[in-house]
Amino acid sequence: MDSEHQPLATSTSELYSQDAPTTSGAAFSHESMDVTGKSMKEATPWYIPPKRYIIALMAFLGFANLYSLRVNLSVALVAMTTNRTFSFNDTVYNSGPDFKWNAYMKGQILASFFYGYIVTQLPGGFLANRYGGKYFFGIGIFATALLTLLTPLLTTWSPYMLIACRVFEGLFEGVTYPAIHAIWSKWAPPAERTKLATFGFSGSYFGTVVSLVISGSLAESSAEWQSIFYVFGSLAVIWFLLWVILVTESPAGHPGISNAELDYIQNSIGYTDEQTKRIHPPLLQMLKSAPVWAIAVAHFVENWGFYTWLTELPTFMTHVLKFHMNEGGFLSALPYLIMGIVVFMGGYFADVLRASFGVPTIVVRKIFTCGAFAIQAIFMVAAGYVMTRAAAVICLTVAVGIGGFAWAGFSVNHLDIAPQFASILMGLSNTFATLPGIISPGLTSVIVTDQDSPNDWQIVFYLTACIYAVGTIVYGILAEGKVQDWAQIPMGYRSYNEDPETQ
């Protein structure tokens, strides 16, 4: 056997155990533990962060841009279809909306993104698994940014041009989540897997907050709703240029990575990029795997609540709670600010439980996922009973924000059960998780026949709470935390430090 591919572990189960070493140190430290438990310091100066953390930061900013481009239409649509007031010579004038679209048309516009988004999840997973995730993730955001810059022009032509534009945005964004898991399968050591991945994912919620808050202000500025698309489209283009310069497909391809960090990452993961390229995905076994479907159900459930309020919360705040558009934009963003913080902190605490306290990975995944779903269901029901401004805002903020803990569970679980196929599994689970984005806006428009009626909105709350309850049960029973038999790689990575020729 070639020395590069000699296994480090004495048994297959030892090599593929995904529970983090119990001796690892603090999160995001320059000093890490290798798979033997020995302390290994980075060979770079203390003020230069490890390259895997730079990847995490760029992923964070990428998801922030991704969601800014996705959600800004929720606020812009309110401005585009609401009567406007303006003053001239101390006289206030009222004018009609720029577009007189009915509730059905608005629902179709909001849902159209997901018609494209669902199509490219699985293809994106397979392509990222085969060719790598860097350019699929980057180009997915870059192409969406270009389409966003064209949105005001296309909207003035026809609502159907706007729908077509959103469908294409969905097609490009559909490859991003599978692509980032392809990157983490090569960059994230098991002991740091949760915090690195969730730090990147948390950017989506901070992007949502920034988009909702700034979009509300831009819509009421002299630049009007068109400026929303110009501002966020331009920011995403700038991010793409930085992504191309700073990010590489794998640690081995990074020109600035130290030998110590490269060895730590590949030693911890247990295989190299070259090894996984020769392995064909076991598709039938994936589809028959109960843990895979547990992740898919949990992903669906979390996204049902997220997408429902992502598209409808500005409307609810404006019509039921009677907030002004500026106030509604901020309060609509508040749950996602909390969620972004919770996602990052959840990832940190999950890895602390695994590494410092020896809690098995599957126990951590179930605690964070099922616990979050149960709390969300309770507060969603409470929101249906309390319709005062303060109480409703508090309940919805907790119900949406606490979902961040679930991302420290199911969203990283793909990497636990099949790290080298994580992009494909993410494509599969996110395909099902995209269905809420398609179903929820249309279903909500059917349920909420009167946007000013609290009773109609209560049905939406109760339905969401029931879905959370189902997700708690399914994930709690079926989820697993270790590499599945069908995902085993019969070779391990051998450290360059152990090569006898270098001794």
Under DSSP, is residue 93 helix (H, G, I), strand (E, B) or coil?
strand
pLDDT of 450: 81
Residue 356 has a CB neighbour count (10 Å cut-off) of 16
> Which residues are paired to 93 by β-bridges?
86
Which token pair is 93? 């004038």
Q: Contact at 8 Å (CB) between 200 and 56? A: yes
pLDDT of 92: 55
Range name among 96-100, 362-366, 441-445 with the lowest pLDDT average: 96-100
CA dihedral 302, 312, 155, 150 (to 10 degrees): -40
Find all residues with CB under 8 Å of 488, minimum gap 6, and list them. 12, 16
pLDDT of 38: 39
CATH class for the region spanning 30-86+102-488: mainly alpha
Among residues 212, 195, 116, 112, which one has the least CA distance to residue 155?
112
> Is the pLDDT reported for residue 25 higher than 60?
no
Q: Contact at 8 Å (CB) between 114 and 170? A: yes
Mean pLDDT of the chain: 81
pLDDT of 83: 65
Q: Contact at 8 Å (CB) between 128 and 273? A: no
Q: Across residues 41-61, what is the average pLDDT?
A: 82
Range name among 110-114, 206-210, 217-221, 387-391 with the lowest pLDDT average: 387-391
d(CA 277, CA 113): 32
> Which residues are paired to 40 by β-bridges?
32
d(CA 375, CA 377): 5
Which token pair is 414? 């793909």
Which token pair is 52? 């895997």
Q: Contact at 8 Å (CB) between 109 and 77? A: yes
> Which residues are paired to 85 by β-bridges?
94
> Is the pLDDT reported for residue 490 higher than 80?
no
pLDDT of 40: 42
pLDDT, tens digit (0-9, with 9 covering 90-100), for 462-481: 898 999 999 999 999 999 99
pLDDT of 431: 94
Among residues 498, 432, 423, which one has the least CA distance to residue 177?
423
Q: Across residues 321-343, what is the average pLDDT?
A: 73
Find all residues with CB under 8 Å of 10, minimum gap 6, and list them. none
Q: How does residue 14 score in pLDDT terms, banded at 50, 70 and 90?
A: very low
Residue 104 has a CB neighbour count (10 Å cut-off) of 11
Q: Across residues 146-158, what is the average pLDDT?
A: 92
pLDDT of 438: 79
pLDDT, tens digit (0-9, with 9 covering 90-100), for 246-302: 999 989 889 888 888 988 888 888 766 666 666 678 889 999 999 999 999 999 999
> Is the pLDDT reported for residue 494 higher than 50?
no
Q: Across residues 68-94, what is the average pLDDT?
A: 72
Q: What Å distances lie between residue 456 and 192, 215, 238, 310, 447, CA to CA?
A: 44, 27, 42, 18, 6
Most confident residue range from 76-90, 336-350, 391-405: 336-350
pLDDT of 20: 44
> Is the pLDDT reported for residue 164 higher than 90?
yes
pLDDT of 6: 37
Q: Across residues 376-396, what is the average pLDDT?
A: 80
Scanning the structure block, which residue is given the tokens 């060979």?
Answer: 43
For the chain, how many residues are written? Answer: 503
Q: What is the pTM of this model?
A: 0.79
Q: Across residues 162-187, what is the average pLDDT?
A: 93
Q: How does residue 151 score in pLDDT terms, banded at 50, 70 and 90?
A: very high
Which token pair is 379? 């507060």
pLDDT of 93: 56
Residues of the chain with pLDDT > 70, as a percent, come to 80
Residues of the chain with pLDDT > 90, as a percent, come to 41
